[in-house]
Chain A
């Protein structure tokens, strides 16, 4: 059974600092997604990573994918309070079924 593991599960950062969230998965896949969820809200798509070595950047967030290591990272640069949210990675297990499995999420708090 596919397992998607994120770490850390909780992250408290100071504004201006850098940090990386890790997402490991247990089966072959080259389609990985990152989502953001604010409290009480639904999930918002951040990045779609479709091949080994893919790197996407948006503002202070950068995501990468290493399909050989079955690892994706979400790097946060110079964190600001507005980035406080829960971040989920999700792995697409099949080209046909598009059955997406989610990690447990990383709850990020950025403190002034």
Chain B
């Protein structure tokens, strides 16, 4: 088990471009989460999946954001028409299905810079 893997580690894009990030969770984890973290803040919840089903989306997740987990394994997070305010660290995490004592296991994140 290599933990949660995220790609790319860094992404620099121009305003208005689309970007896509990938997350590979721990293989036996059914739950997959996306969070966003800005400098000096704690992670903010964006959305989560139970297997392939997206069960909740934060109101922070505007229409420009979409996440998928088509086969219940890896997930992608796409941001369309990026804005400078989208610059942040995007964290993926996975866990076993609740109820569980297991914490979230985080990947190293994708740092997005929109110029």
User: Which residues in A have their C-beta under 8 angstroms from that of B13?
Assistant: none
Interface string of B8-39 (1 = CB under 8 A from A): 00000000000000000000000101010000
Contact A95 B40 (CB under 8 A): no
Q: Shortest distance in angstroms between B81's beta carbon and chain A's nearest beta carbon?
A: 27
Q: Which of A4, A50, A101, A102 contacts B101 (CB 8 A)?
A: A50
Contact status B98-A98, CB under 8 Å: yes
B48 & A99 in contact (Cβ 8 Å cutoff) = yes
By a CB distance below 8 angstroms, the chain B residues around A41 are 108
* The one of A35, A95, A96, A99 that contacts B45, using a Cβ cutoff of 8 Å: A99
The 10 closest A-B pairs by CB, nearest first: A102-B42, A45-B103, A98-B98, A42-B106, A43-B106, A42-B108, A102-B43, A33-B103, A104-B42, A88-B42
Q: Which residues of B contact A (CB under 8 A)?
A: 31, 33, 35, 40-45, 48, 55-56, 91, 93, 95, 98-109
